Amino acid sequence: MVVNKLKHKKRARTLRSCCVSAAFEHAHESESNANDSKKLWISLSKKLNAFYLFIRPHTILGTIVGITSVSLLPLESVADFSLTFLIGLIKALVPALLMNIYVVGLNQIFDVEIDKINKPNLPLASGEFSMSKGVLIVVACGILSFAIGWKSRSPPVLFALCISFLLGSVYSIDLPFLRWKRYAFLAASCILCVRAILVQIAFFLHMQRYVLGKPVVLTKSVLFATAFMCFFSVVIALFKDIPDIDGDRDFGIQSFTVRLGQERVFWLCIKLLLTAYLAAMFVGASSSNMYKKFVTVIGHGLLASVLWFNACSLDLKKKSSITSFYMLIWKLFYAEYFLIPFVQ
């Protein structure tokens, strides 16, 4: 009996020891798996964030808001807002966004040394993306943009893609007679042509003629949008170089900021936008619809006030402040597209 009890106790101790060992190994394995999952998630998050920075999200949002707003202008009744309209909008948006990525990505490829000074957080400049990865994304987006644009069977969309591709390429590529970004007037002209003219006219005609099947008529709203965005595109073209003066000067980029100085270019931008807002208020006041008149006049007045208030408090000696103000200009750019459909 005593021997059996001793054997039973020994087996119990052995069993407990095995259970403890198994539990420890299981806990260790679970912890290891958790650490692996955490590392995988951190790695994935970094890659997604790098891609997010690479595509320059403020320009992506500008393209989405701009094309969507302009596509609403040909609508004459609630019945026009249909599944056909939504499909037509997607057919325009997808290739345009891919071309947007091609243009901004190509610029980063050829600006990688400048960006190490001006924008060190960008993935090519920081080393988060290899050059081969950047080239792969740019080439893939360019090819996909044309492929999807061709499938849309819309001449205005294809025309917009071709001109955007051409101007985006000559703006950035460092070859003889190209790299137009080195020359202030040519650089501003590229941005104005795409953001002010192509986006408004091409995508308006795409929706009006090739989606809704209506006769071509350039309305007051699309003409206003084109004229107003000419001012805004020039301001964006000028202002984007203000925080980049150091790198541009070092690499021989003759921007207006390098030639005229930050303060003069800054106040030129403010005056141009205030002039545009004042003109927009007069256009809005001419509307026969009291509701639309109120929205356009008050709306542009508020945007002008936001611009002026922030301009007066800006410290031009701080690069971070200038960059924040540049992002404010993009927010005003988005806001304008919410007001444009009210101009009729």
Residue 180 has pLDDT above 90, yes or no: yes
pLDDT given at position 16: 58
pTM: 0.87
pLDDT given at position 293: 94
- Measure the CA dihedral 74/78/79/83, to 10°: 80
pLDDT higher at 307 or 15: 307
pLDDT given at position 254: 82
- What is the band of 28 on the pLDDT scale with cuts at 50, 70, 90? low
C-alpha 246/C-alpha 257 separation (Å) is 10
176 to 123, 169, 171, 182, 289: CA distances (angstroms)? 27, 13, 12, 12, 54
Identify the three-state secondary structure at position 302. Answer: helix
Q: In the predicted model, what is the mean pLDDT of residues 160-175?
A: 96
Pick the CATH number of 55-211 from 1.10.357.140, 3.90.420.10, 1.10.3720.10, 3.50.50.60: 1.10.357.140
First to last CA, the chain: 104
CB 263 within 8 A of CB 243: no
pLDDT given at position 248: 84
Q: In the predicted model, what is the mean pLDDT of residues 114-134?
A: 94
- What is the band of 30 on the pLDDT scale with cuts at 50, 70, 90? low
Tokens 């998050």 locate to 45
Residue 21 has pLDDT above 90, yes or no: no
Tokens 């104005």 locate to 192
C-alpha 299/C-alpha 279 separation (Å) is 13
pLDDT given at position 147: 97
Identify the three-state secondary structure at position 211. Answer: helix
- What is the band of 36 on the pLDDT scale with cuts at 50, 70, 90? confident
CA 320 to chain centre: 19
C-alpha 161/C-alpha 166 separation (Å) is 9
What are the backbone dihedrals phi and psi of residue 130, each rounded to the nearest 5 degrees, phi first? -75, 160
Domain ranges of the chain: 55-211, 219-344
Which among 118, 181, 171, 125 is positioned nearest to 322, based on CA atoms? 118
pLDDT given at position 334: 97
Residue 254 β-bridge partners: 183
pLDDT given at position 170: 97
Q: In the predicted model, what is the mean pLDDT of residues 285-299?
A: 94
Q: Chain-wide mean pLDDT for the chain?
A: 90
- What is the band of 247 on the pLDDT scale with cuts at 50, 70, 90? confident
pLDDT given at position 300: 97
C-alpha 190/C-alpha 102 separation (Å) is 15
Residue 20 has pLDDT above 70, yes or no: no
pLDDT given at position 253: 83
pLDDT given at position 7: 53
Tokens of 238: 């000028």
Sequence-separated (6 or more) residues with CB below 8 Å from residue 63: 93, 96, 97, 100, 199
- What is the band of 285 on the pLDDT scale with cuts at 50, 70, 90? very high
Residue 224 has pLDDT above 80, yes or no: yes
Q: Give the Cβ contact number of residue 166 at 10 Å.
A: 12
Residue 256 has pLDDT above 90, yes or no: no
pLDDT higher at 25 or 75: 75
Residue 271 has pLDDT above 60, yes or no: yes
pLDDT given at position 141: 98
Tokens 């808001």 locate to 65
What are the backbone dihedrals phi and psi of residue 167, each rounded to the nearest 5 degrees, phi first? -70, -40
Residue 337 has pLDDT above 80, yes or no: yes
C-alpha 329/C-alpha 234 separation (Å) is 12
CA atoms within 13 A on the CB side of 337: 22
pLDDT given at position 308: 97
C-alpha 114/C-alpha 124 separation (Å) is 11
Sequence-separated (6 or more) residues with CB below 8 Å from residue 29: none
71-75, 76-80, 101-105, 153-157: lowest mean pLDDT where? 76-80
Q: In the predicted model, what is the mean pLDDT of residues 204-225?
A: 96
Sequence-separated (6 or more) residues with CB below 8 Å from residue 287: 293, 296, 343, 344
Residue 250 has pLDDT above 60, yes or no: yes
